[in-house]
Every structure is written in structure tokens, then in C-alpha cells.
Structure 1
Amino acid sequence: MELNEAFALALKELRGRANRSQFDFAPMVSREYISLLERAQRSPSLEKIDEISSVLGVHALSLLAKCYLYKNPGIQLSELLREISENLQD
């Protein structure tokens, strides 16, 4: 699965869980831009990921982790978190 497609699925899922419409992201992010992201037609910047996550009420890493879980369906959340933890250790 392409990264844009995985991000689209993660965004749709977390938006649904947060009971948010595409209009709820304004004025930080337009409804049209959210729609483009959810159709995998755009890639968000780090700033947009942070703004979107804020509206969803989740940490930006949660949105990205969900994205990578979709991109790599064979990996479990615990494995992904262990890998991240190992990567960030001194």
C-alpha cells in the first residue's frame, strides 16, 4: 500500500472515531484539503499533520503510527512501538 493511501485510511478512521466532519478542521485546514488527503491525492506537511491531530484530539505520532500500521499490515502496534522506542534510545 502506498503511504498516501495509508495516511488517508488512518485519517478517515481517526476522524470517524473523533466524530468530526471534514468541516470541523476549518479554519486551520480546509474541507477541500481534508478531502484530498482522504482520497490520497495530497501529502500533508508536518505542520498540517500537527494541526489535523490537534483537531482530532490525538498526538501527531498516533496519526502517523496508525498510518504505518495500514502501510505494513503484518506488523502489530506493540512491534511498531518497540521499534520506535529502540530507535529513540540514546
Structure 2
Amino acid sequence: MKAKPSLPAALKTIRKARGLSQEAFSDVSSRTYMSSLERGLKSPTLNKLEELCEVMGVHPLTLLTLAYAGCDSQKTDQVLQSVGRELDAILSETGE
């Protein structure tokens, strides 16, 4: 059975790995909002994700990769290879 992507789990994993409390995000969101995100009660916009990732010191794609691959390094490689192939195909189709 394929695991469902989990942005809430990825957010919490990175936040804890960086040693950050929910209050550490006070410049970009409230503790209540962070809690809601980590419990899957709310969904952030791309702009909000970028702000949160800046506080955590990671690229937004790192967060999304963790959300889709979890802590499985083999699955991480598969996700990143798939993204690379898709980007190559899209860029070749647009002539970029």
C-alpha cells in the first residue's frame, strides 16, 4: 500500500530536526497556525510555505520531497529522479 503524502508530518519533522519550537515562527505565523498546519487542519499557500521554509533553513522542495517520500532515502531518490525527468520533458517541450 502506497503511503499518502503528508505535509503536516514533514513540517513537524523538519521543525523538530532544526530544534525549533512553534513559537520560533512568530515572525511569519502564529503558534496556533503552525499547530493547525502540523495537525493537517489547514493548508498553507505557496507563499506561506516559502516563509516557513526560510525560518527552517530549507528549500521548499526539501519540505515537499519529505512530504512525498517520508524518511525513506530510497523513495527520496525515486521522487527526485521523477521530478528531474518531468522537468527535462517539460523544458524540452517548451524549447527552454
* TM-score computed with the length of structure 1 as normaliser: 0.87
**Other-structure match for 2:46:** 46
How far the C-alpha of 1:28 sits from its partner, in A, is 1.0
Calculate the aligned-residue CA RMSD, in Å.
1.5
Alignment partner of 2:20: what SS? coil
**Other-structure match for 1:11:** 11
Higher RCO (CA < 8 A, seq sep 6+): 1
Q: Measured at CA, do residues 2 and 76 of structure 1 come closer, stay the same or move farther in structure 2, by a change above 3 Å?
A: closer
**CA distance, structure 1, for counterparts of residue 21 and residue 66 of structure 2:** 19
Structure 1 residues 4-83: aligned runs within 5 Å = 6-70=6-70, 76-83=75-82
**CA distance, structure 2, for counterparts of residue 13 and residue 82 of structure 1:** 23
Read off the aligned partner of 1:83 and give its amino acid letter: S
Gaps of 5+ in 1: none
How far the C-alpha of 1:2 sits from its partner, in A, is 5.2
**CA distance, structure 2, for counterparts of residue 77 and residue 69 of structure 1:** 5
How far the C-alpha of 1:26 sits from its partner, in A, is 1.0
Gaps of 5+ in 2: none
How far the C-alpha of 1:27 sits from its partner, in A, is 1.8
Q: Which runs of 4+ in 1 moved over 3 A?
A: none
Read off the aligned partner of 1:35 and give its amino acid letter: S
Identity of paired residues, percent?
34
Q: Which has the larger radius of gyration?
A: 2
